[in-house]
């Protein structure tokens, strides 16, 4: 049998440096040691873990690992390595260490979505110039192979839209609210108790984590570099049990989606809208069935049509799976020769601001029950050229002495975000309006 892994190449040693030894890093180290033989067989190289850089040598570890592997001198470790796995998170010292690794000719595997969303372009250029591979499958949607399919498998197609559930914490919270009727605070506390949410949950619940992933997904999908400032971001902390209940009644479910889509602004500029916000989805949509802390990415492409990728978005072992996939690919590339390639930037489309996006609103209102109210409201929609798709009115008859009032639920057709926002603003100012109970965007219909 002929294979490119001739015996003299077999078990060529490659030095692996691991930066960080938390939840994911400790599993990566364990698997590198435990599966050494099968990884060598699959890679054509012996992946030698030469050291693990940590901040504190004496910190407790989830997995027993040989003490002699640990070091606090990350800089020296990186300079010796052929392959560097960066699992530190945050901007510094991760960025400097990756730059040192690339400068020394090492391939880099990173799961650092914050760094890549903020500083990715400079790092990709540096890696391309050095002819080394910088891969980061684990940075988006944990174990789910999503970046490689977008970059390679769909490279002959044209992606038109990406909708992703890319934050397990918020999906768990929204799913709990949906299935138990709990309010946000209760569901968050439960998520914290189970370890799905951190003590300070801001990065998750305010959508910052999802926004970093949206920037990375958009960059690969549209062959254009998008960074965090290009991403409009709203979190889920304002979602109420009533919002969830109303969505349920309408056959919808609320999900925090990372969205990147080809779009046209009001003045006809073609571009890409990248945004994260709570979104109403029909319950039959494939993403609606993604429960608990799972992640999924739904892609629409011109030729492939609809695709969905589903799996675990976080956790030590699932994320380690993605890290090791990148590591084995980089090692194979070193063994077989040939340069790596991180991304392409042949698209060069504009990032559209949230104001320019075409979207659809679901607006919940309470109004005084008197003649002419609906006419006043619909007139405002007409003035802003926002067309109403459905309107549902529920009259509440007041008890003795109380005035009666009505609840309105209006779903619009797709319209420019700025027109929708001004419509809502004008409606708020109407004297007959007693409350705007919710304003949520709708997708998937």
Helix, coil or strand: residue 73: coil
| Neighbouring residues of 74: CB distance < 8 A, sequence distance ≥ 6 | 19, 53, 93, 97
Options 64, 268, 337, 371; binder of a copy of itself; rule CB under 8 A:
337
Choose the binding region for a copy of itself from 129-137, 166-174, 254-262, 382-390 (rule: CB under 8 A).
129-137
Instruction: Select from 248, 230, 231 the least CA-distant residue to 239.
Output: 248
- Is 426 labeled as ligand-binding? no
323 touches a copy of itself (CB under 8 A)? yes
Question: Count of residues binding a copy of itself (CB under 8 A)?
Answer: 67
With CB under 8 A as the contact rule, which of the stretches 155-163, 207-215, 381-389, 400-408 interacts with a copy of itself?
A: 155-163
Q: Please, which residues have CB within 8 angstroms of residue 67's CB and are 6 or more apart in sequence?
A: none
Please state, in angstroms and rounded to a whole number, the distance separating the CA atoms of residues 253 and 267: 32
* Identity of the residue, 346 or 431, whose beta carbon is nearer to a copy of itself in the bound complex: 346
Catalytic residue, from 213, 248, 255, 262: name it: 213
What does each C-alpha distance from 159 to 10, 65, 272, 311, 327 come to in angstroms? 39, 43, 11, 21, 27
Nearest distance in Å: CB 224, a copy of itself: 12
Is residue 17 a contact point for a copy of itself (CB under 8 A)?
A: no
- What minimum distance in Å lies between the beta carbon of 121 and a copy of itself? 9
CA–CA gap between residue 391 and residue 238 (Å, rounded): 23
The 275-294 site mask, x for binding a copy of itself (CB under 8 A), equals -----------x--x-----
Does 270 help bind a copy of itself (rule: CB under 8 A)? Answer: no
Task: Give the whole-angstrom CA distance, residue 143 versus residue 146.
Answer: 9
Closest among 420, 318, 364, 232 to 31, alpha carbons compared:
318
Q: Report how far apart the first and last C-alpha atoms of the chain are (Å, whole number).
A: 53
Residue closer to a copy of itself, measured from CB, 337 or 401? 337
Q: Name which of 343 and 417 has its Cβ closer to a copy of itself.
A: 343
435 carries a ligand binding annotation: no
Which DSSP letter does residue 152 get? I
Minimum CB–partner distance for residue 228 and a copy of itself (Å) = 20
Which listed range, 37-45, 70-78, 95-103, 396-404, lies at the site for a copy of itself (CB under 8 A)? Answer: 37-45
Among the listed residues 203, 250, 309, 430, the single contact to a copy of itself using CB under 8 A: 309
To a copy of itself, the closest distance from the beta carbon of 345 in angstroms equals 7
Active-site residue flag, 213: yes
Rounded to a whole number of angstroms, the minimum distance from the CB of residue 320 to a copy of itself is: 6
Cis omega before residue 93 (within 30°)? yes
Distance in Å, CB of 125 to a copy of itself, minimum: 5
Please provide the DSSP assignment of 9-59 as one string: TTTEEEEEEEE--SHHHHHHHHHHHHTHHHHHHHHSEEEEEEEEE-S-TTS
The answer to whether 276 and 212 have CB atoms below 8 angstroms apart is no
Asked if 223 interacts with a copy of itself (CB under 8 A), we say yes
The residue behind tokens 């009032």 is 405
Per CB under 8 A, contacts with a copy of itself among 370-409 are: none
- Which amino acids are annotated as binding site for L-homoserine, given as ranges? 198
Q: Which residues are catalytic?
A: 213
């Amino acid at each position: 049998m002929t294979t490119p892994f001739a015996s003299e190449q077999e078990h060529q040693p490659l030095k692996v440096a691991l930066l960080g030894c938390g939840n994911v890093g400790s599993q990566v180290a364990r698997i590198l040691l435990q599966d050494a033989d099968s990884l060598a067989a699959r890679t054509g190289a012996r992946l030698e873990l030469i050291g693990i850089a940590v901040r504190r040598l004496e910190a407790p570890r989830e997995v027993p690992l040989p003490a002699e592997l640990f070091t606090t001198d990350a800089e020296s470790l990186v300079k010796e390595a052929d392959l560097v796995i960066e699992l530190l998170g945050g901007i510094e010292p991760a960025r400097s260490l990756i730059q040192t690794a690339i400068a020394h000719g090492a391939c880099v595997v990173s799961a650092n979505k914050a760094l890549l969303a903020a500083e990715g372009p400079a790092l990709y250029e540096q890696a391309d110039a050095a002819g080394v591979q910088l891969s980061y499958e684990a940075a988006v949607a944990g174990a789910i192979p999503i970046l490689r399919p977008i970059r390679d498998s769909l490279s002959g197609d044209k992606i038109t839209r990406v909708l992703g559930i890319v934050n397990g914490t918020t999906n768990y919270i929204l799913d709990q609210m949906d299935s138990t009727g709990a309010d946000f605070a209760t569901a968050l506390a439960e998520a914290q108790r189970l370890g799905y949410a951190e003590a300070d949950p801001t990065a998750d619940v305010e959508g910052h984590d999802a926004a970093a992933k949206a920037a990375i997904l958009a960059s690969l999908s549209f062959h254009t570099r998008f960074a965090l400032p290009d991403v409009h971001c709203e979190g889920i902390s304002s979602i109420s049990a009533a919002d969830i209940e109303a969505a349920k009644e309408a056959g919808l479910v609320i999900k925090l989606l990372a969205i990147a889509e080809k779009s046209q602004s009001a003045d006809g500029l073609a571009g890409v809208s990248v945004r994260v916000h709570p979104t109403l989805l029909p319950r039959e949509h494939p993403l609606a069935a993604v429960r608990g802390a799972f992640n999924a990415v739904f892609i629409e492409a011109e030729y492939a049509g609809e695709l969905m990728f589903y799996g675990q978005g976080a956790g030590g072992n699932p994320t380690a799976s993605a890290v090791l996939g990148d590591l084995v690919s980089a090692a194979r590339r070193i063994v077989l020769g040939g340069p790596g390639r991180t991304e392409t930037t042949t698209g060069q489309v504009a990032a559209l601001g949230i104001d320019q996006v075409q979207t659809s609103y679901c607006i919940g209102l309470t109004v005084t029950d008197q003649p002419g109210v609906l006419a006043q409201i619909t007139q405002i929609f007409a003035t802003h050229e926002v067309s109403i798709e459905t309107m549902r009115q529920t009259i509440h008859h007041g008890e003795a002495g109380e005035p009666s009032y009505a609840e309105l639920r209006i779903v619009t057709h797709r319209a420019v975000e700025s027109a929708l926002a001004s419509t809502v603003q004008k409606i708020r100012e109407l004297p007959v309006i007693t409350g705007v109970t919710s304003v949520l965007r709708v997708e998937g219909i």
